[in-house]
Amino acid sequence: MKSLLNLFFLYIVITSIIYGKFEFAGKIKSYSVEKNRVEFNLTNAKFNIYILENNIIRFRFTNQKEFDRAPSYAVIYKQEEKTNFSFKEEKENFTISTDELVIQIKKDPCRVSIFDKQMNLINQDEESFGVAFDGDEVRCHKKLFTDEKFIGLGEKSKENLIKNGDQYTMWNTDFPAYTSTKDELYMSIPFFMGVRNFKAYGIYFDNTHKSQFNLGAANNRFYWFGAARGEMDYYFIYGPEMKRVISDYTKLTGRMELPPLWAIGYQQSRWSYYPESKVREIANGFRSRNIPCDVIYLDIHYMDEYRVFTWNKNRFPDPPKMLSDLKEDGFKIITIIDPGVKADPNYHAAKEGLEKNLFVKYPDGIPYQGEVWPSWSYFPDFTKKETRDWWGFKLSSLMKDGVEGFWNDMNEPATWGGGNIPDIVQFYDNGFVSDHKKIRNVYALEMAHATRDGLKKYSDKRHFILSRAGFAGIQRYAANWTGDNAVTEEHLRLALIMPVNIGLSGQPFIGSDVGGFMNGEPSNEMYIRWMQLGSFTPFFRGHSSIDTKAREPWAFNEFTEENARQAIQLRYKLLPFWYNEFFNSSKTGLPIMRAMFLNYQDDQNCYNLDAQYQFMIGENLLVAPVVTSTDKTKKFYLPKGKWYDWMNNKVETGGEYKIIEVPINKIPLFIKEGGMIPMQEVQNYVGEKNIEQLELVIFPSQKSTFSLYEDDGITYEYEKGIYSVTNFTCESAQNKLTFSVSKEKNSYNQNRKYYMLTILNSEQPKEIYSDKIEKKSIETNYDSSKKILKIKVPDKTEFTLTINF
């Protein structure tokens, strides 16, 4: 008996040590089945399961009396009032079934397990812990499978797309010259994917407080995610395809708006270009050297003592005239906009914000002031619609001057002194009033929201917004870049890894500061390699700090200038390809710059670190850039199938790693068999020329298709159906190739006159004819040394071309 008592007391002691003050979700006491959800009452919590779609389930726990009524900042999905599911009570479990998933909820204690329809386990609460509360803190513990890979979490600088074995924090932070070991960065996206047996699911944790994701760090039993405050509110998305998971995640949080075509071109920035004569000098530098460029940025020195919505009239005496002149030469001007409004009683923005009650405040009602570029400043409360409307109106004055977009910076929000806005500072929070701890991570999101609404309200043209910080859903409003990077070999590699990772997390319009922003000078070789990489990132901008040497392409030697020119020109040749991929992404939410395993989910080699320093653009183009300044070779992986080595004009067989020599003036590009890549002639800026010919580079397979989207690239007319979709089909049989063109939609006139078909790995043709094009109108050229056949034909709405070999 005594030994039993000792064991009992030992159990009590061990239990108290293990559980500490954590309170777990507990036993299910009662439930009710509603039209689109099931509601449970637990001993320690309330728990709702919402069935959004067959593969999207929302799990929501709170230890408060009621669920929070404040709307989500990230999720814009509107759940149907009635959804299809079945509910069954059993002795020890409840079971919810959809056409794709089976969710088992254990009664005592409440634990969730998710299966596919074949009852294969996909995801499971850790049996002993599940959801736990520790005062205000909330966590969810999930069973950790040894063969599971974790992917995502947005802007993380780890040099590996696989996130296993580490812990990550979501807390927007300005950290200049960060390294691969720095965790808290500018943007927080609490969404990740788990992949096991090559099948994927996603979890989006909809909580804006400081949150953490422990993906098996310091233990091999469970992974967990949680937040310092708020609810355990997460969405489970089943694929099993990663592409479907990402697409459905962006169904929840929104997708990128199709940007203006010029925003996909090259953009040049520096902290800072001033006065006006310097801006004109930079513009002339590009045009006189035939280096394409569409955008020049104005950093903080264009303002009057850093007051937003103003111009420094000594440096820029006539902004409308300057912007008009630059526009005539094809340049769009983007101005930086920081959230800090100088606390100057004579400054119109400060006076209006105070009068209209638009700034964040302390609990006693006094407006908060933080020190940033203008010195002590007020901070707009973008969680208030009146503030967002006012901010958009204030931006309209710059738009009237000719500004084409805005660069939202310092919007973590950053303040001097190494600290954050005090936690007690109050925000309107859409009428629910919250403190800085809840709002910090979404401050940039709502600033971008205000900027985007203002641009759409006061202009009928598409504009461009760039944001340093963000949260889940930022893709709805703005592009992002990876913050204040450094001139290091590590950051050259991160300029590939980080945009790919952010793309996997729902933000496709992403890039880095090409050449490195701060802390040194890139060598000629580093600058060339960075420029080559940048030309294949969705956002392509050169940028540098005020205390560095000039960083324009001609600031280096002639060889470097020429290689930078070639990289930028290649970007402009591929603009039809890029614009088509942006369109596809705006419809699907999928990244443009893709990890290899996104396109080849079942290929284990694509998850290896060696295969992560390469990527796909869309489905058909593989880019394997050199991401060191000194290497002259590149190791990369080609998935199974045939690939065309565009650099060396030869066919490679995939399914293995390759090592090739890569001269400093080359970037390895491979076209997948069946791939078609649309191209055009080089322009110095979008709209410089009327593009009369579309080139289609084709690596034929037995049968392949490609759809090309086109519109005016400027207005929102495409939303009214004014656009064109052209379908191309290429079929290859013995000694014959057939190429067909058809119009799926033809509401936009491209004014195109010709197609140039560039057929790779081709034999010399014996006969070429068409059903609708006269033979005399068909021009051909065959390069026997490269085995490339070029065929120029008039652009007919629909036609078929037959090539006999």
Q: What is the per-residue pLDDT across 191-222, written as a single tens digit (0 to 9) for each? A: 999 999 999 999 999 999 999 999 999 999 99
Q: Which range, of 4-18, 425-439, 733-747, averages the lowest pLDDT?
A: 4-18
If pLDDT is split at 50, 70 and 90, which confidence band does 10 have? very low
Q: What is the per-residue pLDDT across 12-63, written as a single tens digit (0 to 9) for each? A: 333 433 455 789 999 999 999 999 999 999 999 999 999 999 999 999 999 9
Pick the CATH number of 270-337+384-579 from 3.50.30.30, 3.40.50.300, 3.50.50.60, 3.20.20.80: 3.20.20.80
Nearest to 485 by CA among 499, 501, 466, 504: 499
Catalytic residue among 155, 381, 484, 552: 484
pLDDT value for 784? 96
State the CB neighbour count (10 A cutoff) for residue 661. 11
Rounded to an integer, the average pLDDT of 729-739 is 95
Q: Are 685 and 262 in contact (CB under 8 A)?
A: yes
Q: What is the per-residue pLDDT across 386-428, written as a single tens digit (0 to 9) for each? A: 999 999 999 999 999 999 999 999 999 999 987 899 999 999 9
Tell me whether residue 409 is one of the annotated catalytic residues.
Answer: yes
CATH number at 690-804:
2.60.40.1180
Would you list the DSSP string of 276-343? HHHHHHHHHHHHHTT----EEEE-GGGSBTTBTT---TTT-S-HHHHHHHHHHTT-EEEEEE-S-EE-
Rounded to an integer, the average pLDDT of 683-697 is 97
Q: Is the pLDDT of residue 739 over 90?
A: yes
pTM: 0.96
If pLDDT is split at 50, 70 and 90, which confidence band does 2 have? very low
Catalytic residue among 148, 233, 412, 695: 412
Look at the chain and count its residues: 805
Rounded to whole angstroms, how far apart are CA atoms 57 and 37?
9
Kindly report, as residue ranges, where domains of CATH 2.60.40.1760 are found in the chain. Answer: 22-240
Rounded to whole angstroms, how far apart are CA atoms 354 and 347?
11
pLDDT value for 17? 37
Tell me whether residue 484 is one of the annotated catalytic residues.
Answer: yes
Structure tokens at 102: 């089976």
pLDDT value for 16? 37
pLDDT value for 393? 97
Q: Is the pLDDT of residue 11 over 80?
A: no
The architecture that CATH gives domain 593-670 is Sandwich (2.60)
Q: Is the pLDDT of residue 185 over 50?
A: yes
pLDDT value for 20? 54
Instruction: Tell me which H or E stretch contains 802.
Output: strand 799-804
The rounded mean pLDDT for the chain is 96
Q: What is the per-residue pLDDT across 471-521, written as a single tens digit (0 to 9) for each? A: 999 999 999 999 999 999 999 999 999 999 999 999 999 999 999 999 999
If pLDDT is split at 50, 70 and 90, which confidence band does 763 have? very high
Tell me whether residue 231 is one of the annotated catalytic residues.
Answer: no
Catalytic residue among 299, 381, 409, 561: 409
Kindly report, as residue ranges, where domains of CATH 2.60.40.1180 are found in the chain. Answer: 593-670, 690-804
CATH number at 22-240:
2.60.40.1760
In degrees and rounded to multiples of 5, residue 741 shows phi and psi of -125, 130
